[in-house]
Amino acid sequence: MKGRHHLDPATLVSRAAGALSPETIAVVDTHLEGCSACRQQLATAEHVGGILLAQQRPSIDTERLHHRRDALRDRLGLHTMRRCNPATEVSSFRDTPNPLPRPLWPYFCKDWSMLRWRWVAPGVHLIRAPAPSGARLILLKIAPGKSMPMHGHTGSELTQVLQGAYHDVMGQFAAGDIADLGNDVEHQPIASIDRPCICVSVLDGPLRFHGWVARALQYWTGL
């Protein structure tokens, strides 16, 4: 997958800094898996982090330092070198004939065939993952030619296209593209007519719908 829409550099800084929720990281990393341009930017952002870390002056409390050093020595004596078992990882992936992107596994499932879609509107299905951080993490499937209701945002939205394509005021988004939107954007994604569009989205605030039907759906779906 080679995308044309990329992560906002400010989002990459937050990813490098560890300042995103675990659910947002899942969507960002799904994009990174297929986008070498964003991985390159992430490497640069991590380089910045390394320099900032090296510039930090340690706060020294001699007594605590000695205590921590002794504790670390004890742990070094107890631990042996740990190695992951690549064979386990490979076989796990092979057992999954049609896998979802790996960063999404903890929230949904490993294989597309295991997904249980929930109807929410004509032509629109979704699966909402449990997200203890408070973010809203959803898989969304829009039938060919169908659309989401027009909506705005009270926070940011990240939407990674996994299959198919959609278009809105921001442009055309195909598989591998990510929409990194702020709270100033109002849009109505419309799926392309040739196949369903499947996306994973994370929202850090509720959507703003205009019509009463859409608001009723919002109440039902928690979006």
Q: Does 52 bind another protein (CB under 8 A)?
A: yes
Q: Write the DSSP string, 93-145.
A: HHT-SSBPPGGGTTTS-SBGGG---EEEETTEEEEEEP-TTS-EEEEEEE-TT
Q: Does 94 bind another protein (CB under 8 A)?
A: no
Distance CA 97, CA 17 (A): 34
Rounded to a whole number of angstroms, the minimum distance from the CB of residue 185 to another protein is 10
Complex with another protein: residue 35 or 165, whichever CB lies closer: 35
Q: Does 41 bind another protein (CB under 8 A)?
A: yes
Query: Which among 160, 193, 164 has a CA at the least distance from the CA of 179?
Result: 160
Binding residue for another protein (CB under 8 A) from 3, 5, 20, 223?
20
Complex with another protein: residue 99 or 196, whichever CB lies closer: 99
Q: Total residues contacting another protein (rule CB under 8 A)?
A: 57
Q: Does 18 bind another protein (CB under 8 A)?
A: yes
Binding residue for another protein (CB under 8 A) from 51, 63, 116, 122?
51
127-146: burial string, b at 16+ Cβ within 10 Å, e else: bbbebeeebbbbbbbbbeeb
Q: Which two tokens stand for residue 188?
A: 């109505």
Helical spans, DSSP H, in the chain? 9-17, 22-34, 36-55, 62-78, 86-94, 212-221
Binding residue for another protein (CB under 8 A) from 1, 2, 4, 44?
44
Q: Please report, as ranges, the residues that interact with another protein according to CB under 8 A.
A: 8-10, 12-14, 16-22, 25, 29, 32, 36, 39-56, 64, 68, 71-72, 75-76, 79, 81-82, 102-103, 105-106, 110, 132-133, 155-156, 182-184, 204
